[in-house]
Amino acid sequence: MRIVDAEVVVTSPGRNYVLLKLTTSDGHTGWGDATLNGRELAVAAYLSEHVLPLLDGRDASRITDTWGFLYRGAYWRRGPVTMTAISAVDQALWDIKGKAAGLPVYELLGGRCRDGVTVYGHASGAGIEETVAGVQDFLDRGYRAVRAQSRIPGLVATYGIGTGVSEVYEPAVGAVPMEEIWETGPYLDFVPRMMARIRAELGYGFDVLHDAHHRLTPIQAATLGRSLEPYRLFWLEDPTPAEDQSAFRVIRSHTITPLAVGEVFNSVWDCQQLIGERLIDYVRTSVTHAGGITHVRRIFDFADLHGVQTGAHGAGDLSPVGIAANLHVDMAIPNFGIQEYMGHVEPTARVFDVGYHYSEGMLHVSDRPGLGVDVNEDAARAYPYVPRQLPVVRLRDGSMHNW
């Protein structure tokens, strides 16, 4: 089973997606997600210029060997662009292996550990009342876990707020980044009041999550975590920029609010200390950005050894192929925690024929062989790439901060 054709497909049905299609000598096709929001074309070029020429004629069944060939063979290891490109090859090879075997990928990973994949939805609002109503709406639709974000009074723009017409917001707009202003004081005052209202009005019979999106210093994060303890969050996500892994010792020593980190990580080395020292409770690496199914499984196994559960990134900037790949892993690992699920904007369904479906707080993978997502290439061509940049953030004095 040799690889005889490889193609990069860039499409924008509401958001930009980069996909890789591999075809084998015996007629199987495999799809992989290579989407890196805001830097899509860098991955597309890395694949086309540096990876695809190496795949021609390779044995498609040798997934781990191909992974090592691309990771070690580049010499320049890791980084989001390289690892997203390797991820796409890896997913496409697992898709092919499943199709060749006539089995869904989770069967190849050891079979189902659970009936379905518990997901959390994204509720947000222009203020506390709207956010509480947004959480209630998710609960009405059967979700048992909801992330709550709200516009912060006094700040013009806040991370994570939907447009009002849909929870599937797209923060990346325009060829030049939008600039937002950030102030930590009002945020630290507001979030505990929001969580207090959510629990007072809706009770404790469901899980609530919150994403601080890398904005705080370690001691500010510790302060927030401690002030949220009465509301028993499922997790507080990305309180500080996690390239500084030892910062989490400070946060951890002050609060028992559970911590989730890792959507921007692309290798096990990015979370070695966080997991090895049990500084976090959930690791958020995704199949799309952290080296594919092959490498994410190793991260999740390492996490399991240290009592850390999974909570893979699943924002709408991951294509349905990447979401499906995450779901197969989620089904097959013992230490699954939760899966993020934002859904996709409407035109996406014209390009992707998605095998998984939502029901009663869970996503269910299909039993189609492989990853279970088909791509309509004619439809994909009808949505050409649109340059979109994620916002940037400044403090009141004009200095750069983390978005």
Question: Structure tokens of 331?
Answer: 């089904």
Q: By rule CB under 6 A, what string of x and - marks binding of each residue 210-239 to ligand GCO?
A: -x-x--------------------------
Tell me the sheet residues that pair with 120.
340
Is residue 211 part of the contact set for Mg ion (CB under 5 A)? yes
Element (H, E) at 366: none
Q: Is 213 a catalytic residue?
A: yes
* Cα pseudo-dihedral 259, 260, 261, 266, rounded to 10: 150
Mask: binding to ligand GCO, 72-111, rule CB under 6 A, as x and -? ----------------------------------------
Residues 312-351 that bind ligand GCO (CB under 6 A): 313, 315, 317, 340
Q: Which of 16, 35, 37, 257 binds ligand GCO (CB under 6 A)?
A: 37
CA 242 from centroid of its chain's CA atoms = 16
Neighbours of 65 (CB within 10 A): 11
Is 159 catalytic? The answer is yes
CA 156, CA 256: separation in Å to the nearest integer? 31
Give strand ranges (E) for 99-175.
Answer: 117-125, 145-150
Q: How far apart are CA 94 and CA 250, in angstroms?
A: 40
Q: Residues 157 to 216: which contact ligand GCO by CB under 6 A?
A: 211, 213
Is residue 340 involved in binding Mg ion (CB under 5 A)? no
Query: Residue 386 carries which DSSP code?
Result: -
Binding footprint of ligand GCO, residue count (CB under 6 A)? 9
Binders of Mg ion in range 274-293 (CB under 5 A): none
Reading the block at residue 321, the tokens are 């192929």
State the nearest-atom distance from the C-beta of 342 to ligand GCO, in Å. Answer: 7
Cβ distance 159 to 403 under 8 Å?
yes
Are the CB atoms for 159 and 149 separated by under 8 Å?
yes
**C-alpha–C-alpha distance, residues 300 and 284, integer Å:** 10
- Beta carbon nearer to Mg ion, 21 or 147: 147
Of 122, 213, 289, 328, which is the active-site residue?
213
- The smaller minimum CB distance to Mg ion, of residues 211 and 317, is found at 211
Stretch that binds Mg ion, among 37-45, 204-212, 269-277, 364-372 (CB under 5 A): 204-212
Catalytic residues: 159, 213
Residues that bind Mg ion (CB under 5 A): 211
Residues that bind ligand GCO (CB under 6 A): 37, 211, 213, 263, 313, 315, 317, 340, 390
